[in-house]
Structure 1
């Protein structure tokens, strides 16, 4: 579901983990439409990790909550941003070889040029990643 603005597209998601398939498909199709096939896999992975973090930490106990994934197409980069209703700051924790989760921010850090977050008063936060094309 794009917003109809050139070089920007957004998709709403719910707390249902089944939405990850839709988020990945939306991201991959949007990048293909923009002619950004070279960074489609990395951007899709980053979007999936950002949304997974929102599902696990912000929407887990909010069945009626939702978040937004936004993609921006710049000449030399893609910005991938996820807004969720939580004010909790993203924190990377070291993962052991036996951990089955906890590597999302590490993956985002490896695949992106830069990433960060912004708090929005009482309305939550946006976590973003900048991926070079």
Structure 2
């Protein structure tokens, strides 16, 4: 569950702070569903939800110390309480934001780590490591920027109008 949702003065810029818990991924998808529905952009939900899930999962794994795939090992922080993760820097929580500026929607996830995301070589047998490849495949473009002080934001851009010509989205 999220720790709170804030709707700015601009109804097309919304954010949700996510608790550093495994449930944050579901909260991010629920937030995306509600927001896109309010904007009349339900058709984007599948792509935005998949990308939001990947970006929040990466933030949990790499920024707040979630054990990948439920494993424990050297250098991995184990939750003190079941379901709760240990934040690396509680001053910068995980936050998901959606911005709609027709004809585009941006999904952005900020976290306390200053290290940028690194796409691994695609290994289609591994259980993890394909997240950024999915982000690249399901969004028009993506990138990241460091935040002032500490942390970063990873963003993905989606076209809210039907693409003409050579768009990256699949046709139905």
TM range (shorter): over 0.9
Distance apart, 1:122 and its partner CA: 2.7
CA RMSD of aligned residues (A): 1.4
Kept in 2: contact 1:85–1:125 (CA 8 A): yes
> Unaligned stretches of 5+ in structure 1?
none
Matched, 1:117 2:144: yes
**2:128 alignment counterpart:** 101
TM score, norm. by length of structure 1: 0.93
**2:94 alignment counterpart:** 67
Kept in 1: contact 2:28–2:53 (CA 8 A): yes
Specify which structure has the higher proportion of strand: 1
Kept in 1: contact 2:110–2:151 (CA 8 A): yes
Distance apart, 1:27 and its partner CA: 0.6
| Structure 1 consecutive aligned stretches of length 4 or more whose deviation exceeds 6 Å | none
Specify which structure has the higher proportion of helix: 1
TM score, norm. by length of structure 2: 0.73
* Pairing 1:34-49 to 2, within 5 Å after superposition: 34-49=39-54
Secondary structure of the residue aligned to 1:100 is coil
Distance apart, 1:31 and its partner CA: 0.2
Aligned length: 133
